[in-house]
Amino acid sequence: DADVTQTPRNRITKTGKRIMLECSQTKGHDRMYWYRQDPGLGLRLIYYSFDVKDINKGEISDGYSVSRQAQAKFSLSLESAIPNQTALYFCATSGDFESSYNEQFFGPGTRLTVL
């Protein structure tokens, strides 16, 4: 089984709808991240969490919110989806800095289309 899983893998929705993307991991990592990827722009950080009680905004958090339900689960919500949020979304995890120098492990991605 994959260490980092994302659901759904693909989603098409309409402008104004609320969408939740879910991420689960079995690596036992405390640190979890949400990124979006757009063609030609690489990965941009949306939110990150260093443990269950810690939530931090990333580079492009506007229009998004997150919930860290447990060490293994980190959800990303689009409160009111808009077309420019059409992108490929990745969840990632990492161990603590001392043990892993922050190597990240990525999920397979969720392709979101907002019409």
Partner 1 sequence: SQQGEEDPQALSIQEGENATMNCSYKTSINNLQWYRQNSGRGLVHLILIRSNEREKHSGRLRVTLDTSKKSSSLLITASRAADTASYFCATDASGGSYIPTFGRGTSLIVHP
Task: Copy the structure tokens of residue 112.
Answer: 């979101």
**Does 89 help bind partner 1 (rule: CB under 8 A)?**
no
**Does 105 help bind partner 1 (rule: CB under 8 A)?**
yes
Nearer to partner 1 by Cβ, of 51 and 103: the residue is: 103
C-alpha–C-alpha distance, residues 39 and 67, integer Å = 27
In the window 18-77, what residues touch partner 1 (CB under 8 A)? 33, 35, 40-45, 48, 56, 59
Indicate the DSSP class of residue 13.
Answer: E
Q: Which residues contact 58 (CB under 8 A, 6 or more apart)?
A: 33, 34, 44, 45, 46, 47, 48
Q: For residue 44, list its beta bridge partners.
A: 36
**Does 8 help bind partner 1 (rule: CB under 8 A)?**
no
**Does 103 help bind partner 1 (rule: CB under 8 A)?**
yes
Please give the residue ranges that form the binding site for partner 1 (CB under 8 A): 4, 33, 35, 40-45, 48, 56, 59, 88, 90, 92, 97, 101-109, 111
